[in-house]
Amino acid sequence: MSEHTYEGGCLCGNVRYRASGEVTNLSYCHCRSCRGASGAPFVAWGTFALAQFEIVKGSPTTNRSSKHVERRFCGQCGTALTYLHAMRPEQIDVTLATLDDAGDLEPLAHIWISQKLPWVLVADGLPQHPEWPKSS
């Protein structure tokens, strides 16, 4: 079985990355933190093994958005790129919209629906989890 490789980067092209292997936790996150970091009502994420992720161009800016969370983004254009959580040190979450072929990976659930904005209508039939799913 061949391993799929995904490439992506920020809006201005200053930062580029490559991720390969299995993608898990394909989801839309509605938490306050993701909304604040992106300026969007929710963010689509996919999780990769950290060992199979690399920055291939540029150097993203890092923001410790909470005690356990580190977010990386382009310091030039501001594009949100990744999320690292101390409780999952061997994984990295990547914003699906920054993939070159963003339509290749589709979220399979909504997470942190307990913090969803009241004017966001979720009617796509996907599972909805109040917080981070226990099985992830």
d(CA 33, CA 46): 17
Q: What is the CATH number of domain 5-25+43-105?
A: 2.170.150.70
**Domain ranges, ordered by start, for the chain:** 5-25+43-105
Return per-residue pLDDT of the chain as tens, 136 residues: 347 999 999 999 999 999 999 999 999 999 999 999 999 999 999 999 999 999 999 999 999 988 899 999 999 999 999 999 999 999 999 999 999 999 999 999 999 999 999 999 999 999 999 998 875 4
pTM, entire model? 0.90
Q: Which backbone phi and psi does 44 adopt, to 5 degrees? A: -90, 130
- Tokens (6 digits) for 86: 């101390």
d(CA 32, CA 16): 26
**Which of 134, 133, 121, 117 minimizes the C-alpha distance to 27?**
133
